[in-house]
Structure 1
Amino acid sequence: MFEDPEPEDRPLNLLIVEDEALIAMLIEDALTLHGHTIVGTADNVQEAIALGQAGDVDLALCDVRLAQGDSGVDAAVKLAELGIPVIYLSGNCPGRADHRLILGCVSKPFHTAALHKSVVAAHSIAAGAAPPMIPTALTLYS
């Protein structure tokens, strides 16, 4: 008999919004190592919205500054408006969230284990459950 995995053990479908290819690959490697699926990587707002509309996304991770003047904050708000919870992953964490589904920020540089734990905690919070723990790497917005 198989039991449902604990929430922290459930693989998530994640969207990465990051304009630097090497960093996006590092994020993807760090999260797929823990069993998560990357449904797509976007480097601008339009791609992020298209991927958010097209896929089953449990959580998005958005850099704040994107190439060619695009804003990860704008991408995060648009994704949150689609019902997708978001955490920022940035060296420049905003001081506040512009939507209730923008849950927090993980500062770059990050440790891969802390990133996984932050994703799990943010997803639990978005689902209305108590997270197994809130890692110190994740700054939550109230």
Structure 2
Amino acid sequence: MSDSTPKLNLLIVEDEALIAMTVKDALLSYGHTVVGIADTVTSALDISRSCPVDLALCDVRLANGDSGIDAADGLAQQGIPVVYLSGNCPPDAVSPLVVGCISKPFHTAGLNSAVLVSYQIAKGGERIEVPPALTLYN
């Protein structure tokens, strides 16, 4: 990763421990910081209030019957951009800050570029080379 590539504070909202750890390990290998892993709406919002979060990666189906769409909406209301990471990508976004969806199964090699493009778009940057794994909403 070049020095000009942002190193982001990321929140993972995922109830499957193995997937969460795989995503975390991949993101850490690119120099990002994972501020927390949440498996419910409440835990996602609690973490986001206690740590600076640049972008959240959010599954759609969470523990205890929670909805990742609700988590994404709550995070977006706090001004945090979100990209879904799900086998059940919603057809549209609940907020302009919900940038897109990375479909499961995904390749960890493409995860970093999808995260960086999502962050850039959420911050009003140009859409450049959208990776195949990322479906944009806007």
Structure 1 residue runs of 4 or more that deviate by more than 6 Å after TM superposition: none
1:82 aligned onto 2:78: yes
TM-score by length of 1: 0.93
TM-fit CA distance, 1:67: 1.5
Give, in angstroms, the shift of residue 128 of structure 1. Answer: 1.1
Q: What residue number does 2:60 align with?
A: 64
Residue 135 of structure 2 corresponds to 139
Q: What is the distance in 2 between the residues matched to 1:59 and 1:92?
A: 20
CA RMSD of aligned residues (A): 1.2
1:120 touches 1:131 (CA, 8 Å); kept in 2? no
CA distance in structure 1 between the aligned counterparts of 2:109 and 2:115, rounded to whole angstroms = 10
Amino acid at match of 2:44: A
Q: Give the unaligned 5+ runs of structure 2.
A: none
Of residues 90, 97, 102, the one that matches 1:106 is 102
1:119-130 matches, cutoff 5 A: 119-130=115-126
Tell me the TM-score normalized by structure 2: 0.96
| Alpha-carbon distance in structure 1 between the residues aligned to 2:64 and 2:123 | 34
What is the aligned-residue identity percentage?
Answer: 58
Query: What's the offset of the Cα at 1:133?
Result: 2.2
Q: Which has the larger radius of gyration?
A: 1
- Which residue is 1:33 aligned to? 29
Partner of 1:10: 6
Asked if 1:52 corresponds to 2:48, the answer is: yes
